[in-house]
Amino acid sequence: MPHALFDKHRATLDAAVNAIHERGYWAAYAETPSPGIYGESAMEDGKRAFERCLGRQFALDQPGQVAWTSSETSPYGLALGVSYPVCNAQALIDAGLEAMRGWRNIGAEGRTGICLEILERLNKHSFELAHAVMMTTGQGWMMAFQAGAPHAQDRALEAVAYAWREQSFVPAEAIWEKPQGKNPPLRMHKQFEIVGRGVALVIGCGTFPTWNTYPGLFAALATGNPVIVKPHPNAILPVAISVRIIREVLAENGIDANLVSLAAFKEDQATRELAQHRAIRSIDFTGSNAFGNWLIDHCRQAQVYAELAGVNNIVIDSTDAYKAMLRNLAFTLSLYSGQMCTTSQALFVPAAGIETDLGHKTFDDLASDLAGAIDALLGKPEVALAVLGAVQSEDTLRRIETASSGSLGKVVLGTKAIDHPEFPEARVRSPVLIACAADEPPWTQECFGPISFLVRVADTAAAIALSERVVSEHGALTAAVYSTSAEVIEAMSEATWRSKVALSINLTGAVFVNQSTAFSDYHGTGGNPAANASYADSAFVANRFRVVQRRRHL
């Protein structure tokens, strides 16, 4: 018998499955914070809900609680003061495994329906989530709303759609009949049960606590697994709100709420011990290479899905839209102060310069013009604050100051501190642009934040070869090329196929290389060191469940 929530959300599910087949534009959740869509009081209601969390204990009624922890500091300088439950890891694991049986028994339709109901509920809390994301990560308001709420929900729905599609291929039962010539046929009744691998651990990052957390969370949940979510110590609130909503919907539908829990550990050692626990069978992680590689090397009992740091790069050969190219690059390098896993870090430019619709431009011309485009973009304070947001961590702030000092290369554009009229203590900094030679090492190491390098190379062929090598050795989530030559574009395409990184070609409009759209873009390929999995295909979900059969004679 179909599950009621599966029937309720069937149209959304069918549209999502169709979208991952067609890869055109489709979104389930509105990205515009419009009162006409979300309700006249949604903005104010969401802000008040966020404010009610401040300075209080965030109770979740989880098992094994031993203490409270409070570790968040806002990049905007707002006093948060939220305390979260610290629970014994074994208690969370035991409770999750206990809840797993009921979750398995409702079947793929039941799990899918409840996951879709959770997403609908999360969408109704989009404004509350947006404020929590903004104040813990430093994102500007519009990015915090879009990436933190509807875009994250779309990514979660994408994972649920893949999970449903893969599970729907497994029949519940079959009659097996093998002819035996003149003798009666052999007949058996076979039943097939989808069983989750075991407890899933999802480790969040400090910059995109929902957008980077929801895919793994919902991929694991939809395929039958209990989930423990371990947020970044400085971005707990958006995850805690999400976990609270998930637990509420589970309980309302007769499922043990401990199927999903929050592990608000501050200490790295506690996270490492949990990650190595024999019951943890899958781990999703976004963050540093050091910890990501440690997970891959030391958590052999689990399937690890890791999105790590890389050196995203752009090859600039030529353009027939020079000013539009500069505007696009300026926005790309400035958006959220470069604190995105997809932001370009190295721009490879031939030493002899490039041909454009405005005539030949030398390397120095391009450097100067790009710096001017960034200054022009950020010339109005209200635009600068909306685009840049605030710097999430003190470590990133120190990197910006170091880069602007000239210790990493010739500074073409130095950073500036920008005052925020609403939040006087906000850490707002403009980008740093550095010119260097290809054999100078700083650009080959990820410099997280608004720090980019114009790398002088011998020619376009050398630029393409360097792009391929750096992606293969250091990893990348994005690459781009600007060229009016079909041969150059083909050569760059071949290089990115070999190094396995997504390529953007001649972006000059309102689409940017560091943006990734659910249901259409394949975020990550799983083919280079920056990501050991693709986050938008069936492989991301298929290894999270097993099929166990029973058979008997008829």
Does some domain include residue 538?
yes
Same domain, 465 and 540: no
**Among the listed residues 53, 57, 62, the one whose alpha carbon sits nearest the alpha carbon of residue 261:** 62
Domain extent for 318: 313-505
Does some domain include residue 32?
no
Burial per residue of 224-257, b for 16 or more beta-carbon CB atoms within 10 angstroms, e otherwise: bbbbbbbbbbbbbbbbbbbbbbbbebbeebebbb
Same domain, 360 and 427: yes
Does some domain include residue 455?
yes
Same domain, 86 and 140: yes
Does some domain include residue 171?
yes
Same domain, 352 and 490: yes
Residue 262: exposure state from Cβ atoms within 10 A (0-12, 13-18, ≥19): buried
- Runs of H (alpha helix) within 475-502: 486-499
Same domain, 171 and 204: yes
- On whether the CB atoms of residues 522 and 507 are closer than 8 A, the answer is no
Does some domain include residue 332?
yes
What's the domain count of the chain?
A: 2
DSSP string, 164-208: HHHHHTS-SEEEEEEEETTEEEEEEEEEEEEEE-SEEEEE--SS-
Per-residue pLDDT of the chain (554 residues; tens, 9 = 90+): 568 999 999 999 999 999 999 999 999 999 999 999 999 999 999 999 999 999 999 999 999 999 999 999 999 999 999 999 999 999 999 999 999 999 999 999 999 999 999 999 999 999 999 999 999 999 999 999 999 999 999 999 999 999 999 999 999 999 999 999 999 999 999 999 999 999 999 999 999 999 999 999 999 999 999 999 999 999 999 999 999 999 999 999 999 999 999 999 888 899 999 999 999 999 999 998 999 999 999 999 999 999 998 999 999 999 999 999 999 999 999 999 999 999 999 999 999 999 999 999 999 999 999 999 999 999 999 999 999 999 999 999 999 999 999 989 999 999 999 999 999 999 999 999 999 999 877 898 888 999 999 999 999 999 999 999 999 999 999 999 999 999 999 999 999 999 999 999 999 999 999 999 999 999 999 999 998 888 888 999 999 999 999 999 99
**Among the listed residues 144, 179, 205, the one whose alpha carbon sits nearest the alpha carbon of residue 390:** 144
Same domain, 198 and 76: yes
- On whether the CB atoms of residues 406 and 433 are closer than 8 A, the answer is no
Does some domain include residue 38?
no
**Among the listed residues 91, 111, 154, the one whose alpha carbon sits nearest the alpha carbon of residue 250:** 111
Q: What is the CATH number of the domain that holds 262?
A: 3.40.605.10
Same domain, 336 and 469: yes
Q: Rounded to two decimals, what is the model's pTM? A: 0.96
Q: What is the CATH number of the domain that holds 332?
A: 3.40.309.10
In this structure, what are the phi and psi dihedrals at residue 89, rounded to the nearest 5 degrees? -60, -40
Same domain, 192 and 73: yes
Same domain, 110 and 18: yes
Does some domain include residue 220?
yes
Cα(469)–Cα(444) distance, rounded to whole angstroms?
Answer: 11
Does some domain include residue 133?
yes
> In angstroms, what is the C-alpha Rg of the chain?
25
